[in-house]
Structure 1
Amino acid sequence: MPPMMSTFFPPLILISLHCFTTSASDPDPVQDFCIPDPKYGSIRAADHLTILPCKNSSDATPDDFVFSGMKSAGNFSETGLAAIPVNPIIFPGINTLGMSFIRADLKAAGINPPHFHPRATEISYVVQGSVYSGFVDSSNRIFARTIEEGEVMVFPRGLVHFQMNVGDKPATIFGCFNSQNPGSQKIPAAIFGSGIDEMLLEKAFGLNPQQIGMMRRRFGPRVK
């Protein structure tokens, strides 16, 4: 086995075991696989589990179980994060299998803001770079440290977690979820972009109306 593969392969085994042997947040499948039959439509973003009929298993091909859309980074946000989430909407081969995954790239000093996944535990593997990673438990205790290339950190289901590139080069992370629809809520957008009453926000955070307005303009929904 080449040297590069010898360091890369064991973490991928760990991630695979997490995806397929952890107590799943989705129902167990009742067949080997279910590739949605395209003649009945496609999976919608709002669907947790598809209700579309499966195409005949004899019509499945190896291409149904291969995804090639993670070879390079996605588009970067203003926080220096580029994320490519992979779920049955864009990769039908994982439909009903109780898993999904993500490629995340961080520019130097880029961050993945505090967020949580209500329906899944996540395992995060650093492919390259040095990433300050952590989560906060329900007693507000923080568990955080810098993880380096080849290291893995787990973020328990429903707990707020975050990442920041603390190296001087771009970082790449591979994340795996034990749900095909983990959901994601970013804390700043959930608080200031959801329409919560302004007076409540003022009292909760000690901010004045001008500051609340600034936060809402920054984290509120973008008008196209």
Structure 2
Amino acid sequence: MNSLVFFFLFSLFISLAYCDIEFDFCVGDISRQTSPVGYACKNRATVTIDDFIFTGFRVQKTTTNIYKANATLAFTNTFPGLNGLGIATSKIDLGVGGVIPAHTHRTSEFIIVVKGSIIAGFVDTNNTAYFKRLEVGDVMVFPPTLVHFQVNAGKTSATAYSGYNGANPGIQLITNSLLAGNLPTDLITQITLVNPLEIARLKSLFGITNA
């Protein structure tokens, strides 16, 4: 099943990605600062086969965290061979009751479920939610920038792979952005209408104790 997943992920996005081809490849030099168009090319003489291989999906990752989930990201900063190709991928591991909370990316995304059962969905700019329970082999697409999520809907662990039409899609978790940073409680209350006592309790889950 996994070989079919990767063939599906990369054949689709390679066909969709636009690239003005002037070189065979431009492996990212991740020792240098990135830019809006990606990393500068690594010296061709130092490029090896390992630059085009990502092995981070081999091991089942721990899900012993607040979300009971783990996302292993194969973006250009960890997979420099993607640089300039307009594609990226990730693996989602969900423990029982696990959730990838509401978040956004700069790019479109699709997921394919390879283990378990997952409720996945997104919310559009009219605040209409689109969600459904997905089973093994099901694929769902999320339009760019819209808030979306995945929840383990079964009684066993679940796994899915994602594909993106950008080498560095980024990820911003809404809950973490509000509660795990330096935003003061009174300001969060104003912008969310949530009781400050509840905000303080939620912040404590992330080890945040600022006012």
TM-score of the aligned structures, taking structure 1 as reference length: 0.80
Q: Distance in 1 between matches of 2:120 and 2:152?
A: 9
Q: Which residue of 1 aligns with 2:178?
A: 191
Q: Which residue of 2 aligns with 1:111?
A: 99
1:137 and 2:129 correspond: no
Q: Which residue of 2 aligns with 1:124?
A: 111
- Structure 1's consecutive aligned runs of 4 or more residues displaced over 6 angstroms after TM superposition are none
Q: Which residue of 2 aligns with 1:73?
A: 60
Secondary structure of the residue aligned to 1:79 is coil
| Contact 1:194 1:220 (8 Å CA) reproduced | no
Match for 1:16: what amino acid? F
Q: Distance in 2 between matches of 1:75 and 1:128?
A: 16
Alignment length (residue pairs):
209
- List gaps (5 residues or longer) in structure 2: none
Q: Which residue of 2 aligns with 1:42?
A: 31
| Contact 2:28 2:82 (8 Å CA) reproduced | no
State the Cα deviation string for residues 88-126 of structure 1 (Å, max 9, x = none).
222221111111110111011111111111x11111010
Deviation at 1:50, TM superposition (A): 4.0
Identity over aligned pairs, percent: 31
CA RMSD of the aligned region, Å? 2.8
| Contact 1:114 1:186 (8 Å CA) reproduced | yes
Deviation at 1:195, TM superposition (A): 3.3
| Contact 1:135 1:160 (8 Å CA) reproduced | yes
Match for 1:42: what amino acid? S
Q: Distance in 1 between matches of 2:104 and 2:208?
A: 19
Secondary structure of the residue aligned to 2:71 is strand
Listed as ranges, the matches of 1:22-37 within 5 Å are 22=16, 28=20, 30-36=22-28
| Contact 1:110 1:165 (8 Å CA) reproduced | yes
Q: Distance in 2 between matches of 1:163 and 1:170?
A: 13
State the Cα deviation string for residues 29-87 of structure 1 (Å, max 9, x = none).
542211246xxx6255x65544434322x764433322222112223222110111012
Deviation at 1:221, TM superposition (A): 6.1
Residues 18 and 201 of structure 1: CA distance in aligned 2, closer, same or farther (over 3 Å)? same
Match for 1:153: what amino acid? M
Q: Which residue of 1 aligns with 2:78?
A: 90
- List gaps (5 residues or longer) in structure 1: none
